[in-house]
Amino acid sequence: MVRNKAPTFIPLRRRLLQFAALSTFAMGALHAPSRAQDSGSEPAGPAERIIVSGASGQLGGLVVEELLARGVPAERLILVSRTPEGLQPYAEMGAAVRYGDFTEPLSLPAAYAGGDRMLLISIGRTNLPRPQAQGNAIRAAVEAGVRHIAYTSWVGISHGETEGLSADHAATETILRDSGAAWTMLRNSIYADGVVQDAAAMIAAGRVVVPENADRITYVTREDCAAAAAAVLIAPGHENRAYDITGPAAVGPREIAAAASAVTGAAIDVVAAPASSDAQPFGGPALAAVSSHVEELTGRPATSVRALLEAHREELMAAARR
């Protein structure tokens, strides 16, 4: 087999910068949205209605599917997006599908009208500071009568982080706590998607170069984040609580390599990086702290890296053949 260049494990700091860059790109690539009217039928009866902001995003879409899978009737859903036209299948099922943009406060009162609970999905970069844009959404929701708002925050907040990503999330949490609505903070750890790519790269190269103090991170799947969010939206008892939404273990490149080998049978040499390499730790204890909240909220264990790689076995086997 021709070996690819051995990947050096990407420090978390660089990975976070990649997230930020991707968010900026996504914003720039947007088309001007059309204002869709409520295109679903209104529900009968007094059942609470649940708003999902950013319903066309990756996490938002999983939350909608999770709510439906848990038996929430589509008529109880109010799905808000800058691109509501992409949510037409849910409108056909009976959901209210509406236009709303946190940076356009005038779009929000009609978007949130009639909602009782809301999942506020954190956004990437916009023309407004993120807490200001997200604050617009919180204020509009409260004025529209929403009584409970769950917010997808950041796990670093639970460990006293105040810089970078944590600053925006902490500021938004403060706005939410002071809003008058009941709140739930869903403090997500790092999404696990990158782990599959890391494993594929290690398999293709047959080795990985690991800094001595590589971060160990409680990667969590978006599916688990979505299941936790759905759980707090559909049952009482989660008001004014903060949850750390993490995977079941803190893993670093050594554990990822071991799981990738176990799943595919591929040999991966783990090579210690020279002391002078890019090996500054960044994640610290915040991203290595395991929480049991996913299992407590959803009734099933959080997805392990091994299970995640099992689910992507075909893709990883293809990497082994490259």
Ligand X SMILES: NC(=O)c1ccc[n+]([C@@H]2O[C@H](COP(=O)([O-])OP(=O)(O)OC[C@H]3O[C@@H](n4cnc5c(N)ncnc54)[C@H](OP(=O)(O)O)[C@@H]3O)[C@@H](O)[C@H]2O)c1
Residue closest to ligand X when measured from CB atoms: 54
CA distances from 146 to 78, 97, 129, 139 (A): 12, 17, 23, 10
The amino acid occupying position 212 is: E
Cα gap 66→164, rounded to integer Å: 31
Least distance (Å) between residue 243 CB and ligand X: 14
26 binds ligand X per the rule CB under 6 A: yes
The footprint of ligand X on residues 204-223 (CB under 6 A) is none
Q: Does 124 bind ligand X (CB under 6 A)?
A: yes
Q: How far is CA 200 from CA 2, 36, 207, 227, 302, in A?
A: 15, 41, 11, 26, 22
Q: Does 140 bind ligand X (CB under 6 A)?
A: no
What is 143-188 written as a DSSP string?
A: HTT--EEEEEEEGGGGGT--STHHHHHHHHHHHHHTSSSEEEEEEE
| C-beta neighbour count of 8 within 10 angstroms | 18
Binding span for ligand X by CB under 6 A among 1-9, 69-77, 78-86, 176-184 = 78-86
**Stretch near ligand X under the rule CB under 6 A, chosen from 116-124, 199-207, 280-288, 314-322:** 116-124
99: contact with ligand X by CB under 6 A? no
Under the binding rule (CB under 6 A), the answer on residue 83 touching ligand X is yes
| x/- track of binding to ligand X for residues 181-200 (CB under 6 A) | -------x-xx---------
The three-state secondary structure class of 81 is: strand
121 lies in the site for ligand X, by CB under 6 A: yes
136 sits near ligand X (criterion: CB under 6 A): no
Alpha-carbon torsion (38, 42, 75, 103), positive or negative: positive
Q: Measured from the CB atom, is 26 or 272 closer to ligand X?
A: 26
CB of 188 to ligand X, least distance (A): 4
**Cα(157)–Cα(47) distance, rounded to whole angstroms?**
33
Q: 138 with 175: CB under 8 angstroms?
A: yes
Interface with ligand X (CB under 6 A), residue from 7, 43, 57, 131? 57
Residue 107 makes contact with ligand X by CB under 6 A: no
Q: Which of 39, 103, 132, 277 binds ligand X (CB under 6 A)?
A: 103
Which range touches ligand X (CB under 6 A), out of 5-13, 81-89, 230-238, 301-309?
81-89
* SS3 state of residue 214: coil
- Strand runs (DSSP E) across the chain, as ranges? 50-53, 77-81, 96-99, 117-120, 148-154, 182-188, 207-210, 241-245, 269-272
Find the Cα–Cα–Cα–Cα dihedral 225, 227, 231, 233, rounded to 10°.
Answer: 70
Q: Does 156 bind ligand X (CB under 6 A)?
A: no
Answer yes or no whether residue 60 interacts with ligand X by CB under 6 A.
yes
Q: For residue 32, what is the DSSP state?
A: P
- By beta-carbon proximity to ligand X, the closer residue of 92 and 269 is 92
- Kindly state the number of chain residues that form the binding site for ligand X, as judged by CB under 6 A: 26
266/305 with CB nearer ligand X: 305
Indicate whether 56 belongs to the interface with ligand X (CB under 6 A): yes
Name the site residues for ligand X (rule: CB under 6 A): 19, 26, 53-60, 81-83, 101-103, 121-124, 126, 133, 152, 188, 190-191
